[in-house]
Amino acid sequence: MSKMSDPKPSERVWFRHRQNGQLGYLIERDGKTKIRLDRPSDPYAIRPYNPDEWLPMVTQTRVPRQAVAAIQWAADRALLRALGAHREANRDWHGLTDAQRIEFMDKGPGKLHGEERRKVWEAIKEATRALVE
């Protein structure tokens, strides 16, 4: 962080004040760590940072199970293309019925090239486990 620039929203480290519940994120001013309160229109909403007064907030990215399934579907389509099953690879996620999407989310891909597809489906499921709501 430079002296006068705040971190990008994706890089902010958020804190909550122990006594009054105010929300803010870490910034640096004149070589000192401070807290910018969550008041976007107030350029003076900056407070000293005292670790005894501010609790770090745990932030976790969460995504719906359906979003993970769409990622699994896209990977499955790419694998089918690589295996030469071009007709099957062209099925669109949004062209499936709700029941077909739920079945894919719950059970994974069908029997064509089953073992390879199942391994990819399970690997993505495992890799995204911490993200699912």
Four-CA torsion 93, 98, 103, 105, nearest 10 degrees: 60
- In the DSSP assignment, the letter for residue 88 is H
In tens, the pLDDT along 47-58 reads: 999 999 999 987
Q: How many CB atoms lie within 10 A of CB 22?
A: 16
The Cα 32–Cα 2 span in angstroms is: 11
Give the pLDDT of residue 108: 94
45 with 34: CB under 8 angstroms? Answer: no
Q: pLDDT band at residue 79, thresholds of 50, 70 and 90?
A: very high
Give the pLDDT of residue 73: 97
Percentage of the chain with pLDDT > 70?
94
Q: Specify the pTM.
A: 0.56
Mean pLDDT of the chain: 89
In tens, the pLDDT along 20-62 reads: 989 999 999 989 999 999 888 888 899 999 999 999 987 666 7
Percentage of the chain with pLDDT > 90?
63
Give residue 30's region: left, alpha or beta (phi > 0; psi -120 to 50).
left
Domain boundaries, the chain: 9-56, 65-131
